[in-house]
Amino acid sequence: MIAIYPGSFDPITFGHLDIIDRGAQLFDSVIVAVLSNPSKRPLFSVEKRVEQIRYCTEHLPNVQVDYFSGLTVEYAKLREAKVLLRGLRVLSDFEKELQMAHTNSTLWSEIETVFLATAKEYSFLSSSVVKEIAQFDGAIDHLVPANIVQDMCEYYQNK
């Protein structure tokens, strides 16, 4: 069974990578799908995010990284996948995630959303938290892989 793990991943964190790792053990293949949405004004271009995630997941043979625009369910149909994988951290995620899962199933009744509880050590972690710390030159090496630390440093140095 193929699972799509959609998200912004701006940037990818250890929390996301934990979900990818565990998803890769549960499904035949996992497609990490980066949403291309320039109106969200991402820090990194979609091509850069794909490159970053490929580097972080190259040890996982059944994980692919791709990008998409538009509706996630349309992308899932294109890739012949009927499962969306999402991580749940805290209770406040639940409302948004449930709404998204229900919305997606009204758009395509065959889609199923599977939630994995994020590892407890990363329950506080989000891409926004990483950006918040990095812009003030704080340590992020316990939150994101080394290639992301490097890219974030370069981004804020050149700003």
Active site members: 16, 40, 89, 127
For the bound state, the minimum distance from the C-beta of residue 131 to ligand PNS, rounded and expressed in Å, comes to: 13
First to last CA, the chain: 43
20 DSSP assignment:
H
Q: Which is nearer to ligand PNS, 19 or 152 (CB)?
A: 19
Report d(CA 78, CA 42) in Å as an integer: 25
For the bound state, the minimum distance from the C-beta of residue 157 to ligand PNS, rounded and expressed in Å, comes to: 26
Q: Which is nearer to ligand PNS, 31 or 157 (CB)?
A: 31
Q: Which is nearer to ligand PNS, 94 or 137 (CB)?
A: 94
**DSSP strands (E only) in the chain:** 2-7, 29-35, 63-68, 83-88, 112-117
| Of 116, 144, 115, 114, the residue nearest 129 (C-alpha) | 144
18 within 8 A of 118, measured Cβ to Cβ: yes
- In the complex, the residues that contact ligand PNS under the rule CB under 6 A are 6-8, 35, 71-72, 100, 103-104
Q: Decide the pairing of beta strands 83-88 and 2-7.
A: parallel
For the bound state, the minimum distance from the C-beta of residue 69 to ligand PNS, rounded and expressed in Å, comes to: 8
For the bound state, the minimum distance from the C-beta of residue 120 to ligand PNS, rounded and expressed in Å, comes to: 20
Q: Which is nearer to ligand PNS, 84 or 152 (CB)?
A: 84
The CB-nearest residue to ligand PNS is: 7
